[in-house]
A and B are shown apart, each in its own frame.
Chain A
């Protein structure tokens, strides 16, 4: 016989070797090789077919396991395994079969894991989008914000003065460029009906500094910023539209370039459109906000400005190759130079500070995200503890199987590996489920679009997130799989022990896991409890005015009106509003309380103009008409309200808040006292106090800065707001108010909204944190209760015999009930105790989110602990009742 040209198909041969027991594989493979050789001399194709047919029938025929016990043990031991990979495959198949065989266990474990991993993945995807991504600007690591702070308050962040900005731009060598941006809200006429738009005024280098280009038209060039002398009519303002504005008000028309309109009474011309995803991405302290409608250039030479008024938000780019610390060093010497030049800077100890933009932008969301990450971490841990507990029960149930495997030669590592494989299989399945849940969770978050998660829109399910979910589930599998796996090898050592019975070690392990679960869930519950208390406190805050049935009407006046005309328009609008049927009272104020956009503060002092005073302080200033206090229901504490006769400014009077009066003139009558204040960089003003009103939360629910109310002649703004007290349902007044103001000779955009919206918006951040904490702690509670129930139900099933004996010996059902309840409540109480300790240590990390309650608020701690014990009692009661229902006779027979 000649030697065949080629041997049998390698794959088929390999498959046969996998399939055949050792004693058969040698002769069979030999026979097949021989026959293959003979066939391939005449018909190689048929030879291969024959070989494959035989391979298939080998795999489909029933082959008894190797025939001696020693050889059978080889299937579990190492001897037979040709390669590690092969036996992993075997472990996998075996593990999958085991899991399928107990679908109840697998489903509960799978669902538990999916919940934990789903929650974790959802929060992670938000965290990585927010904290870990880079800003959508060119070389974002070179972008910095520039601030001022005083020596006394180094954590304060003041904006820059115009002159300082100009000097810094000129002198700095470490900064490649510095730009300014500020936000205003104003009327735009010329694209359909007049609307309010959010305008970002920037220096012309703003976009080139960020490295962002318009998608249509051109960006700003230096000439766009050429100062226009006051009174002169410059060229039309070049305007860049946001993508949203372009779509909403210009129909996405590519021919929009060159379109003209009127903004703030000034002619403007569209020169470009910004990309769809361009957003400001500046820190909160920059006070510019997001969602701009358009940008226009600042036509002003900052070197002509003052060194007194801090109003410029400055962003800068480090020169390539310059480190932040080098730039900071230069800033220090620059600060010294400026302090030499300005008395005020010297006295304030004003310093310049650079902060990296990327870290700054997310600084305000970091506490929320850290809190949420911690919370989901706890949920995941509880889920793991639960699944570990389930696995321990399984190990106990499979004791005889494991013992046989062990007796047949399976080593310790072999058993651990088999059980870990099952954990990993479950982990991967749970991870997949979790990924699906996180897709759902993300879509919910995107719909809510909370301010606390500014980039939730941009979160995409990408490979990194899938990898995270998978990695988390594998890690979790190790966490919940390792203890049961190690226990299993102990279990396997006891061949004689009854299958399904638990050793003392396992019971202890399971009990301690339940204690941990209860403790972790209590920490989350306390967190949620503290948020409930916080919101309660926020709701109880005395606003100082009555937001119910109160409407806010905003109007923006055309820019060409002079001061007198503006005052006149305010008067007309107020009168018109009062005449609308259903309006009880109306009064003007600017800006309105809790408006969320404007701050408007001034410096004040009692002894001298603020700059010369020993004790200058800061207050809000509000321009009001005489009707305001009645319409808003701000009550008068002393003196009188403002009157129409105060508006001509002789004598100059203001109304102040009680807390300001208490601060400046404690124990004295504030009426008639002298007060100095200074708005922006204007001249300081000396006034007398005419009246004192209740404290109002002007800037936010937790804001206690005082307010100075002044007649309109101090500050004739382009904008004015009015509060309107409605009789009955305020909703019905929206349309009449609009049409009444629309009928006035002056064309003005009007916004009408409910004041209660402002209050609701102020509550939203706390409510958002509460909502998520509530979801996570509810998850944790359910998982912990299931865990507790599981441990007790199992313990009862283990102790049927014992319980039966007790009943037969004369114990009452009541005794049995108490026995099991006692066991469960001891665990719950231990968990509660540890949980209270852990919560006391951990809740201070959420103090950022709390208001009016301490991080160790006894009410929140006590109430949640009581609630947890109640739920534990329920979870314990069910198995306890089952135990008390055991019939003594059947229990004795139970084996």
Chain B
């Protein structure tokens, strides 16, 4: 794949949101988590597109759940974080931390957390 296995920004956010679930989560749950954290209502389709890409890259896995009446007889699609996904999140965090350590010297960031 041309883009390699690098994470897009939104993909990373979605992957983190999924990681906040112990076991597995389906679209609406990830969507709600994102909305809570960012304070904005996103797009369910966007979430699914990102999750599908993450699945292509091997970071998450999905399986179909049961169909229920509330869902108009449609099955849920559950996503689970995979070890490779956890690994890429950790690497990303380390890289960020390293960058942050260097960046603290800048006067504009003095008040920053």
A interface residues with partner B (beta carbon < 8 Å): 1, 3-4, 7-8, 19-20, 23-24, 26-35, 37, 50, 53-54, 57-58, 61-64, 67
Known: A28-B44, A33-B70. 20 other contacts (CB 8 A): A4-B70, A7-B72, A19-B45, A20-B45, A23-B52, A27-B27, A27-B64, A27-B74, A27-B77, A28-B48, A29-B74, A30-B67, A30-B71, A31-B44, A31-B76, A57-B46, A58-B45, A61-B43, A61-B45, A63-B45
20 A-B contacts (beta carbon < 8 Å): A3-B69, A3-B70, A24-B45, A26-B74, A26-B75, A26-B77, A27-B26, A27-B75, A27-B76, A29-B72, A30-B67, A30-B74, A31-B27, A32-B44, A34-B68, A35-B28, A53-B41, A57-B46, A61-B46, A67-B52
When the two chains form the complex, which single residue of B27, B41, B67, B69 contacts A28, counting CB atoms closer than 8 Å?
Answer: B27
- Tell whether, in the assembled complex, residue B49 and residue A24 are in contact, meaning their CB atoms are under 8 Å apart: yes
Q: How many residues of B contact A (CB 8 A)?
A: 26
C-alpha gap A67/B57 in the complex (Å): 12
C-alpha gap A67/B56 in the complex (Å): 9
Is B59 on the interface with A (CB-CB < 8 A)?
Answer: no
CB distance from B9 to the nearest CB of A (A): 15
> Which among A20, A23, A34 has the greatest number of chain B C-beta atoms within 10 A?
A34
- Tell whether, in the assembled complex, residue B49 and residue A34 are in contact, meaning their CB atoms are under 8 Å apart: no
C-alpha gap A514/B103 in the complex (Å): 74
C-alpha gap A229/B67 in the complex (Å): 108
- Tell whether, in the assembled complex, residue A33 and residue B44 are in contact, meaning their CB atoms are under 8 Å apart: no
Closest A residue to B49 using CB positions: A63
Closest A residue to B50 using CB positions: A61
CB distance from B32 to the nearest CB of A (A): 9
- Tell whether, in the assembled complex, residue A1 and residue B70 are in contact, meaning their CB atoms are under 8 Å apart: yes
CB distance from B45 to the nearest CB of A (A): 4
C-alpha gap A19/B49 in the complex (Å): 13
Instruction: Check A54/B43 contact, CB under 8 A, given A61-B49, A63-B49.
Output: yes
- Tell whether, in the assembled complex, residue A28 and residue B45 are in contact, meaning their CB atoms are under 8 Å apart: yes
Q: In residues 21-58 of chain B, which contact A (Cβ within 8 Å)?
A: 26-28, 31, 41-46, 48-49, 52-53, 56
C-alpha gap A337/B96 in the complex (Å): 121
- Tell whether, in the assembled complex, residue B26 and residue A31 are in contact, meaning their CB atoms are under 8 Å apart: yes
C-alpha gap A663/B56 in the complex (Å): 106
Q: Which residues of A contact B28 (CB under 8 A)?
A: 31, 34-35
- Tell whether, in the assembled complex, residue A57 and residue B76 are in contact, meaning their CB atoms are under 8 Å apart: no
C-alpha gap A844/B28 in the complex (Å): 81
- Tell whether, in the assembled complex, residue A33 and residue B74 are in contact, meaning their CB atoms are under 8 Å apart: yes
Closest A residue to B31 using CB positions: A31
Q: Mark B71-104, 1 if CB is under 8 A from A, else 0.
A: 1101111000000000000000000000000000
Q: Which residues of B contact A3 (CB under 8 A)?
A: 69-70
CB distance from A49 to the nearest CB of B (A): 11
- Tell whether, in the assembled complex, residue B43 and residue A33 are in contact, meaning their CB atoms are under 8 Å apart: no
Q: Which residues of A contact B45 (CB under 8 A)?
A: 19-20, 24, 28, 54, 57-58, 61, 63
B interface residues with partner A (beta carbon < 8 Å): 26-28, 31, 41-46, 48-49, 52-53, 56, 64, 67-72, 74-77
Closest B residue to A3 using CB positions: B69
CB distance from B6 to the nearest CB of A (A): 16
Q: Which residues of B contact A23 (CB under 8 A)?
A: 52
Q: Which residues of B contact A29 (CB under 8 A)?
A: 72, 74
C-alpha gap A4/B71 in the complex (Å): 11
Closest A residue to B45 using CB positions: A58
C-alpha gap A4/B41 in the complex (Å): 23
Closest B residue to A33 using CB positions: B72
C-alpha gap A33/B27 in the complex (Å): 12
CB distance from B15 to the nearest CB of A (A): 18
Q: Which residues of B contact A53 (CB under 8 A)?
A: 41
C-alpha gap A63/B43 in the complex (Å): 12
Minimum-distance CB pairs A-B, first 6: A30-B74, A27-B77, A57-B43, A30-B71, A58-B45, A33-B72
- Tell whether, in the assembled complex, residue B44 and residue A54 are in contact, meaning their CB atoms are under 8 Å apart: yes
CB distance from A392 to the nearest CB of B (A): 36
Q: Which residues of A contact B67 (CB under 8 A)?
A: 30
Q: Which residues of A contact B74 (CB under 8 A)?
A: 26-27, 29-30, 33
Closest B residue to A58 using CB positions: B45
Q: Which residues of A contact B72 (CB under 8 A)?
A: 7-8, 29-30, 33
- Tell whether, in the assembled complex, residue A31 and residue B71 are in contact, meaning their CB atoms are under 8 Å apart: yes
> Which among B43, B45, B68, B72 has the greatest number of chain A C-beta atoms within 10 A?
B45
CB distance from B28 to the nearest CB of A (A): 4
CB distance from A44 to the nearest CB of B (A): 16
C-alpha gap A28/B31 in the complex (Å): 11
> Which among A20, A61, A67 has the greatest number of chain B C-beta atoms within 10 A?
A61
Q: Which residues of A contact B41 (CB under 8 A)?
A: 50, 53
When the two chains form the complex, which single residue of A1, A30, A58, A64 contacts B43, counting CB atoms closer than 8 Å?
Answer: A58
Closest A residue to B78 using CB positions: A27
CB distance from B86 to the nearest CB of A (A): 23
CB distance from A55 to the nearest CB of B (A): 9
Closest B residue to A13 using CB positions: B72
Q: Which residues of B contact A62 (CB under 8 A)?
A: 49
CB distance from A781 to the nearest CB of B (A): 54
- Tell whether, in the assembled complex, residue B52 and residue A24 are in contact, meaning their CB atoms are under 8 Å apart: yes
C-alpha gap A1/B69 in the complex (Å): 10
Q: Which residues of B contact A24 (CB under 8 A)?
A: 45, 48-49, 52
Closest B residue to A55 using CB positions: B45
Q: Which residues of A contact B48 (CB under 8 A)?
A: 24, 27-28
Closest A residue to B55 using CB positions: A67
Closest A residue to B29 using CB positions: A31
Instruction: Check A34/B56 contact, CB under 8 A, given A27-B26, A57-B45, A61-B43.
Output: no
CB distance from B43 to the nearest CB of A (A): 4
Q: Which residues of B contact A37 (CB under 8 A)?
A: 70
Q: Which residues of A contact B44 (CB under 8 A)?
A: 28, 31-32, 54, 58
C-alpha gap A28/B76 in the complex (Å): 8
C-alpha gap A37/B67 in the complex (Å): 15
> Which among A7, A19, A30, A58 has the greatest number of chain B C-beta atoms within 10 A?
A30
Closest B residue to A7 using CB positions: B72
Q: Which residues of B contact A35 (CB under 8 A)?
A: 28
CB distance from B20 to the nearest CB of A (A): 18
Closest B residue to A38 using CB positions: B70
CB distance from B36 to the nearest CB of A (A): 14
C-alpha gap A7/B73 in the complex (Å): 12
- Tell whether, in the assembled complex, residue B70 and residue A64 are in contact, meaning their CB atoms are under 8 Å apart: no
CB distance from A821 to the nearest CB of B (A): 50
CB distance from B82 to the nearest CB of A (A): 18
Q: Which residues of B contact A1 (CB under 8 A)?
A: 70
C-alpha gap A158/B68 in the complex (Å): 94
Q: Which residues of A contact B43 (CB under 8 A)?
A: 54, 57-58, 61
> Which among B27, B28, B71 has the greatest number of chain A C-beta atoms within 10 A?
B71
CB distance from B10 to the nearest CB of A (A): 10
Q: Which residues of B contact A54 (CB under 8 A)?
A: 43-45
Q: Which residues of B contact A50 (CB under 8 A)?
A: 41
- Tell whether, in the assembled complex, residue A33 and residue B71 are in contact, meaning their CB atoms are under 8 Å apart: yes
C-alpha gap A58/B64 in the complex (Å): 21
CB distance from A330 to the nearest CB of B (A): 80
Q: Which residues of A contact B71 (CB under 8 A)?
A: 30-31, 33-34
Q: Which residues of A contact B46 (CB under 8 A)?
A: 57, 61
Q: Which residues of B contact A26 (CB under 8 A)?
A: 74-75, 77
C-alpha gap A527/B73 in the complex (Å): 73
- Tell whether, in the assembled complex, residue A64 and residue B27 are in contact, meaning their CB atoms are under 8 Å apart: no
C-alpha gap A8/B72 in the complex (Å): 10
CB distance from A73 to the nearest CB of B (A): 19
Instruction: Check A30/B76 contact, CB under 8 A, given A3-B69, A35-B28.
Output: yes
Q: Which residues of B contact A58 (CB under 8 A)?
A: 43-45
Q: Which residues of A contact B49 (CB under 8 A)?
A: 24, 61-64
CB distance from B40 to the nearest CB of A (A): 11
